[in-house]
Structure 1
Amino acid sequence: MEDSEIVPEIEINELIPCLCSKRWVLAYVAFVGFICLYAVRVNMSVAIVCMVRLDNSTSNTTEQDLHPTCTDDQDTQQNNNRGEFDWNKSTQSQILASFFYGYFVMQIPGGWLSGRYGAKRVIGVGLFISALATVLMPVCARTRTELVYVLRVILGISSSVMFPAMQAMWGRWAPPLERSKLVGLCYAGAFLGNIITFSGSGLLCANGFDNGWGSIFYITGGGTFLWLCMWVVVVSDSPRKHSTISEAERKYIVESIGTLTDEVKYTPWLEIFKSRAVLVCFIAHLCNNWMHYTLITGLPTFMNEVLKFDIKKNGVLSAVPYTAMLVTSISGGQLADFLRKRFISTQNARRLFQATSFLGSAACLVSVGFVPCEQRMLAVALLTIAVAFEGLCNSGYMVNTVDFAPRYAGVLFGINNTIATIPGMLAPLAIGGLTPHKSQEEWRNVMYLAAGFCVFGAIVFGFFVKTDEEPWAIEKSMNTEFEVSPTQTDSRGNKGQINHTFQLNTDHVNTKM
């Protein structure tokens, strides 16, 4: 652009709010929402450690005989004695996995419903049911084990709408060169949710009310109910429907995205399933999820079985990696958008951040399998770095659907996450099957498997990622909404002038961030 074109854009920038804008308020509220979502999702991973009575199998003795200086922390026995349930390894794995049997059900419908009726309603209803299922867990667990399975499936179904619905909302709210920042901040709430839940649950297991573990479910479910009140009051489905947004911000968002209508009445299903961009994003999503669910469901157990941490230290140390992930998710979004504006293309930015995420995590996971229990703090450090690398995925595949199909981002994420939920079902079962004797050597195979998925995902996404908006994702009626210049005389000239005007508007918006 010439210098004469930059001056008026700087003047307009002064009229468009940033950190206190409505789009950023949405990111802040959604950030807290993802804290609540992950609180109700992962609470069972820590709670189950102190819900189950102490296992006196000989496998633990064998492991300690191999490493005589690596012993359980002193209060492990005391806390395990508070357990109420005689669930074996297989039952525990099935309880953790049952969440994902429901989680895949509403992924595609959640994205479609959000595009058709608005993400605000879809997320509100989904999180309300999730909170209700959570607070009912202690009573149902003490009644019948089968009810635990049922509630976990219901929890999976209701919480599955959050990600695709939020993607649909960002398709309407996130200007192109702010996408990494907004999406990165929003989804960073999931990592903080892990941090709070892992660390807080460990303390509640040892010191909370209702025998410790029961308080975990009451507090996480109750907090979600409180967040719902804020969600209903503060959030709107799109800039057009927001009652207090400034006209400058509304125009800025709408023109930069280029979407003319809020309601998506038609979805090009055939083109979606034939799209290379969708396939590549799906593969990256699947590979990342295997690592993610391996750690999120297995990390507390690994800390207990291999590293021999007591339940209080277990919870806190299981949270440490997600603290690092929170930092890399937010800072990665800022860095990605900075690089996109000044140095590299969007495609290369997505490729760089996702490849770094996958390969960095893989190297650390392989390494942690060889760290002896006597050096367990080194193992925690490696796990922390591995999960920190995973945080960069929010500037990689996680935002990719908003790049190439912002109008259908919700339903696309739903399609991807439906199949990418399969690792959530299989990873806990794989952990249980691969670690029958709870030894470090067995857990090493778990880490190998997760690292293999990471390497495969890095290769596919690195070579084949696409970021340009797909032809099938462009709204067909776009041209009818723009004012036509009086100098235009024919339909061919009209179309060219309209497209040229829209391109100028897009460039104008993109260069002023």
Structure 2
Amino acid sequence: MYRKEASRGGKLPCICSRRWILAYISFFGMFFLYATRVNMSVAIICMVRSGNGSLSSNQTRLGDDVSWPNQALPENHVEDDTCSKQDTSTSSAATKGEFDWDKPTRSRVLAMYFYGYIIMQIPGGWLAGRYGGRRVWGLAFFLLGLFTILTPVAARTSLAFVYVLRFLVGLSAGVTFPNMQSMWGRWAPPLERSKLITFCMAGPALGTIAGFALSGYLCAYGFDNGWGSIFYVFGVGTLAWVVLWFLLTADSPRDSSRISNAELEYIETEIGYKTNVQNTSTPWRAIFTSAPVWAIVVTHVCHNWSNYTLLTGLPTFMKEVLNFDIKQNGSLSAVPYLCAAFISIIAGQVADSLRSRAGLATVTVRKIMVVVAFSTIGSFLIGASFVTCEARHIAVVLLCFAVGGTGVTRAGFPVNHVDIAPRHAGVLYGITNTVATVPGMVAPLVAGALTPNKTAEEWQNVFYVCAAFSVLGSIMFLAFAKGEVQPWAREAGDRAAGEHSSTYRVMYSPKSRP
């Protein structure tokens, strides 16, 4: 629970410190961010009628959204008892569907979230740096919870209303990552940076698990025709988080009324500046002409292509290629993200240990994490695409390794924003995530276009594209990434991070916090 002894015999709190309490609350914020993002991927399977309501009675259903005439089964159809039984149960689960949405329509519904999400990246980071992340994130998540609860009403009103509401859900969620990075630029000591940020970023993995697994269960057994309950449960949970967020957090250590003098002194000594000083200007030109920034941008884009392909397409892959029914689909789609959550936390601990104990440079550690992660993602996705329905549980294991690789990246390029520009980490993340959100809008459409017949061979092409992006991201980060604070990110009076930390002493006498 304690980090080091102080000069007067006291100890500096660690596990129960205010910075770790911020990490715990942020973890759950990220949890609900992804739960409300991916729940539509499962819910939409239950919302849509089998065959879109347009198929004749002489057709045999093989999935939720397509059927084939009995006399003309596709070439890749497998007469395996296990697979065919799962198809039948999937079909029965889909009988509760209320809407006749074809595949392009469903792809647009999934992609609409990202059209709203992309808009708030840079403004969200700027607002957090200028006014503090606590109010910005809290207000945005209040709207996120409200819009999520209204989704069933929108779906039963008009398709256009669904598009608008999913856009607004994405708009509300868009401030999350820039706000988190901005706050950690003020709260995270350099040698705790990886573990604090990666702990928060385990939240998306567990949120994805809940979004997939609980949505699958609610689809089959929930109230309001099953799929409606998915949005009510996650929307109310998000609103409950907002209450805790405002009660337990502060914009910076100096704004916290509950932080000890010991912890405040430690954080500001390690970071190198007074944490409650808000940004009055942003070095836009220097940011946009910085090679390390563009290294993060390209790496972020390449990572998100695979990540968003899996987030929006994994339930469909489980259904179309592996033929799991809706209850199994939700649960098994969640399993890989459980691996990613634990790996994310472990990766943060390993990264900070490599820096503090092994003495590796920050940039070296970040590059190791990115290369290991991308190699894992690309290779295991390709492997999973070659597994047949008969050996589908092997595919689940391979997908666990692939998605686990996304957990390793958390100790790589995401933390690098704070490494090179702690004062401007929110804006910086907003810029990189703006570009990196494009895959969220494009990847579902590409996956849909590449899989018109829903065959295993078509899904192999989807995963080949992901692997190609992994190779590109590794090359760019290796070539151009940096690990130290960039000159344009410093202001007069700033010390180097950790300067004088070897002679750091905690003073317990009362003091003002200007």
TM over 0.5: yes
The letter of the residue matching 1:341 is: S
CA RMSD, 1 decimal: 1.8
Deviation at 1:187, TM superposition (A): 1.3
Report sequence identity in percent.
50
Deviation at 1:59, TM superposition (A): 5.4
Alignment match, 2:510: none
Task: Report the secondary structure of 1:478's partner residue.
Answer: coil
Alignment match, 2:125: 111
Alignment match, 1:360: 376
The letter of the residue matching 1:305 is: E
More moved, 228-237 vs 461-470: 461-470
Alignment match, 1:267: 282
The letter of the residue matching 1:235 is: T
Alpha-carbon contact 1:103-1:159 (below 8 Å) kept = yes
Deviation at 1:441, TM superposition (A): 0.7
- Give the Cα–Cα distance (whole angstroms) in 1 for the partners of residues 277 and 232 of structure 2: 37
Alpha-carbon contact 2:6-2:12 (below 8 Å) kept = no
The answer as to 2:87 corresponding to 1:71 is no
Alignment match, 1:19: 15
Match of 2:418 among 390, 394, 402: 402
Alignment match, 1:292: 307
> How many residue pairs are counted as aligned between the two chains?
482
- Give the Cα–Cα distance (whole angstroms) in 2 for the partners of residues 282 and 442 of structure 1: 29
Deviation at 1:39, TM superposition (A): 1.3
Match of 1:441 among 457, 481, 493: 457
Distance 1:63 1:295, change over 3 A: farther
The letter of the residue matching 2:23 is: A
Alignment match, 2:212: 198
Deviation at 1:99, TM superposition (A): 0.5
Alpha-carbon contact 2:124-2:136 (below 8 Å) kept = yes
Structure 1, unmatched stretches of 5+, are 1-8, 480-498
The answer as to 2:74 corresponding to 1:62 is yes
Greater helix fraction, Structure 1 or Structure 2: 1
Deviation at 1:339, TM superposition (A): 1.0
The answer as to 2:229 corresponding to 1:215 is yes
Report Cα offsets for 1:274-333 as digits up to 9, x if no partner: 111100011110000000000000000111111100000000000000000001000110
Alpha-carbon contact 2:380-2:402 (below 8 Å) kept = yes
Structure 2, unmatched stretches of 5+, are 52-60, 506-514
1:213-362 pair list within 5 angstroms: 213-260=227-274, 261-343=276-358, 344-362=360-378
Alignment match, 1:466: 482
- Give the Cα–Cα distance (whole angstroms) in 2 for the partners of residues 44 and 104 of structure 1: 18
Distance 1:319 1:503, change over 3 A: closer
- Give the Cα–Cα distance (whole angstroms) in 2 for the partners of residues 394 and 126 of structure 1: 24
Deviation at 1:504, TM superposition (A): 4.4
Distance 1:165 1:368, change over 3 A: same
1:62-141 pair list within 5 angstroms: 62=74, 65-66=77-78, 68-69=80-81, 70-73=83-86, 74-141=88-155
The letter of the residue matching 2:453 is: H
Distance 1:72 1:453, change over 3 A: farther
Alpha-carbon contact 2:272-2:498 (below 8 Å) kept = no
Report Cα offsets for 1:156-179 as digits up to 9, x if no partner: 111000000010000000000000
The letter of the residue matching 1:141 is: A
The answer as to 2:26 corresponding to 1:33 is no
The answer as to 2:391 corresponding to 1:375 is yes
Alignment match, 1:42: 38
Deviation at 1:507, TM superposition (A): 4.6
Alignment match, 1:432: 448
Alpha-carbon contact 1:59-1:437 (below 8 Å) kept = no
Report Cα offsets for 1:194-252 as digits up to 9, x if no partner: 11111101000000000000000000000000110000110000000000100010011
Distance 1:377 1:270, change over 3 A: same
Alpha-carbon contact 1:59-1:438 (below 8 Å) kept = no
- Give the Cα–Cα distance (whole angstroms) in 1 for the partners of residues 42 and 503 of structure 2: 50
Alpha-carbon contact 1:67-1:373 (below 8 Å) kept = no
- Give the Cα–Cα distance (whole angstroms) in 2 for the partners of residues 396 and 63 of structure 1: 43
Deviation at 1:66, TM superposition (A): 4.2
Deviation at 1:355, TM superposition (A): 0.5
- Give the Cα–Cα distance (whole angstroms) in 2 for the partners of residues 159 and 45 of structure 1: 16
